[in-house]
């Protein structure tokens, strides 16, 4: 079992695709990485609709619930409110090692691309970019408009990883969980997190 070497900010926004974000959170906690969790009001609605998961608007309540839900080691998960400006993620003097926005709405994508840090999620992403830390964005929309594509290009040019949740089928997935794990595995790869979620291409094991 790995030691909690990394501090990773996970942000959930109100796009469809919540199973990706929740599974990512579960695996990172299993691997004992420290997690700063942020989520929007719309993400609370999507989590309830897609997974029957109630995310409290009170950070401490959410922290306790999710720690139990994932059977995580106490203290690994820290939840912050949407305007909790004294959170570590709000300052470049104390940035996380990496950040993932999964799923990412086009509104959040636009706010990050244009530097509009009106909520903590956007500010945390802005910190990642300016401090040249790893930022992985998992945009969930189809089709993409020219505006969406231009915003993604701008963020990619700034160093962000744009990782649409497009699963591969060459490994013959049998369940929805297999498809979710394919995407989560690619996110973990870009975070530099060792995992064994799925077989690797060309690996007989």
Q: Which residues are annotated as a binding site?
A: 14-16, 40, 105-108, 140, 170, 186
Give backbone dihedrals phi and psi of 90, rounded to 5 degrees, phi first.
-80, -10
Question: Which residues define the annotated binding site for FMN?
Answer: 14-16, 40, 105-108, 140
Pairwise CA distance, residues 182 & 187, whole Å = 9
Q: How many CA atoms lie within 13 A of 92 on its CB side?
A: 8
> What value, to the nearest 5°, has the Cα angle with vertex 168 and ends 157 and 71?
90
Q: Which of 169, 136, 172, 171 lies closest to 155 in space, CA to CA?
A: 136
CA angle 85, 88, 94 (to 5 degrees): 130
Binding residues for dimethylallyl phosphate: 170, 186
Q: Which residues contact 146 (CB under 8 A, 6 or more apart)?
A: none
């Amino acid at each position: 079992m790995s030691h909690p070497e990394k501090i990773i900010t996970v942000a959930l926004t109100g796009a469809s695709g919540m199973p990706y974000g929740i599974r990512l959170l579960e695996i990172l906690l299993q691997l004992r990485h420290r997690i700063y969790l942020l989520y929007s009001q719309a993400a609370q609605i999507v989590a309830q609709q897609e997974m029957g998961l109630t995310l409290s608007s009170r950070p401490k309540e959410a922290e306790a619930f999710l720690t139990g839900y994932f059977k995580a080691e106490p203290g690994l998960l820290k939840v912050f409110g949407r305007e909790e400006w004294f959170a570590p993620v709000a300052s470049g003097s104390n940035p996380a090692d990496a950040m993932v926005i999964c799923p990412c709405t086009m509104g959040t994508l636009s706010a990050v691309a244009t530097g509009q840090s009106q909520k903590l999620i956007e500010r945390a992403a802005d910190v990642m970019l300016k401090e040249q830390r790893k930022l992985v964005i998992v945009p969930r929309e189809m089709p993409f408009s020219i505006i969406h594509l231009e915003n993604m290009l701008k963020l990619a040019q700034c160093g962000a990883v744009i990782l649409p949740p497009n699963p591969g089928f060459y490994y013959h997935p049998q369940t929805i969980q297999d498809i979710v794990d394919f995407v989560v595995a690619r996110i973990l790869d870009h975070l530099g997190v060792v995992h064994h979620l799925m077989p690797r291409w060309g690996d007989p094991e």
